[in-house]
Amino acid sequence: MEFLGLVNYALFTAIFIAIYALLALGLNIQWGFAGLFNAGIAGFFAVGAYTSAVLTTPADDGRLGGFDLHFVLGWIGAMLAAALVAWPIGKICLRFRSDYLAIASIGVAEIIRLVIKSEEVVTNGARGISGIPRPAGDIGYTESQIAYLVIVLAVLIAAYVLVERQFNAPWGRMMRAIRDNEDAAKAMGKDVEFRRLEAFIFGAALMGLGGALFAHFNRSITPEAIDPMVATFLVWIMLILGGSGNNRGAILGAAVVWIIWSVSEIATDRLPHEYAIQAKYIRLFLIGLMLQLVLRFRPEGLLPEPLRGDLRGSRRTTKSGADHNQARSTGPEIDL
């Protein structure tokens, strides 16, 4: 029985790693490719989660729903809804830069959270939405976990392949050129504002998909699940640790951070009750300490951004921290 519990916990951890890896890929499109400081990940996560919940749950008196669609249609709807919400937000907020964009995106995410919490007709208010169908959820618990892990991994692999293809394509080189030297990209005739909006929408769509996967795994979604600590800032730590601008680094960072987050929870739960509550903050301390060490000794992340997006050659090189900073200040070799 104890062995089965460890297996179930390992499957649970692997599923969450895959979901957070999808969120980190979305953030990598926005920050790693386009240099957009989006601190409102939780907002798009929530839009995707609630959209899929409304589309796939049966009828319920007192709130919108009853469509009872297939979960695949719910996930597609989640991506479309997150993208549609991102379009007006991007049109307005992408005029800002760096810190101002972060402040604006945090505000937007908080507005979305408060609307979800208070709009009972659509989201059922603070009670949230339950009874969300999980794919293969009608079989045994362990078998259901394995089946859902396979589905989530398939979605993650598909997203990774598509994003990596864009990274290697002229679009990816163009976005990095805009990120590193906007004036030079404009001089080459590139529509910088449109391309930034494009990257913002693509990243938001993946975040919405991550929210939908989370909701179907938990079989419910409530406003409490949209915590900026775990739905925004933890994703940022994953991307910074793994390596901004590197899709593999985003996935690696998600795995490392979530494993530390989960193992520290197990360790603190074994403490006496009077110490367990206070010891929970050790998790935040460990994550913060790890982030500080990475920023101090390896600012480019565990897997730095490659100089070229060519995966076919064996001569692929990576940027050092100094090269990365120099490229951001002086601009890249523009190959559009």
Which residues in the chain show pLDDT less than 70?
1, 274-277, 280, 307-336
Report phi then psi at 228, rounded to 5. -55, -25
Report phi then psi at 130, rounded to 5. -120, 175
- In angstroms, the Cα distances linking 68 to 50, 108, 210 are 14, 29, 20
Find the largest Cα–Cα distance for the chain: 65
What pLDDT, on a 0 to 100 scale, did the predictor assign at position 291? 85
| Nearest CA among 245, 241, 238 for reference residue 319 | 245
From CA 219, how far away is CA 137, in angstroms rounded? Answer: 9
How many alpha carbons lie under 13 Å from residue 113 in its C-beta half-sphere? Answer: 19
From CA 31, how far away is CA 37, in angstroms rounded? Answer: 6
Scan for tokens 């319920």, then name that residue.
60
- Measured at the alpha carbon of residue 213, what is the angle toward residues 259 and 29, in degrees to the nearest 5? 75
Q: At 220, which helix (H) or strand (E)?
A: strand 220-221
Helix (H, G, I), strand (E, B) or coil at 92: helix
Other Cβ atoms within 10 Å of 26 Cβ, number: 29
What pLDDT, on a 0 to 100 scale, did the predictor assign at position 78? 97
Q: Give the start-to-end residue ranges of the domains of the chain.
A: 11-330
What pLDDT, on a 0 to 100 scale, did the predictor assign at position 153? 97
Summarize pLDDT for 86-113 with one digit per residue, the tens.
999 999 998 887 788 889 999 999 999 9
Scan for tokens 């009972």, then name that residue.
120
pTM of the predicted structure, to 2 decimals: 0.88
From CA 122, how far away is CA 117, in angstroms rounded? Answer: 10
**With contact defined as beta carbons under 8 Å apart, do 25 and 253 qualify?**
no
What pLDDT, on a 0 to 100 scale, did the predictor assign at position 308? 58
Fold held by 11-330: ABC transporter involved in vitamin B12 uptake, BtuC (1.10.3470)
From CA 335, how far away is CA 99, in angstroms rounded? Answer: 29
What pLDDT, on a 0 to 100 scale, did the predictor assign at position 268? 72
What pLDDT, on a 0 to 100 scale, did the predictor assign at position 64? 80
Summarize pLDDT for 291-333 with one digit per residue, the tens.
888 889 988 999 998 865 444 443 444 444 445 444 444 444 4
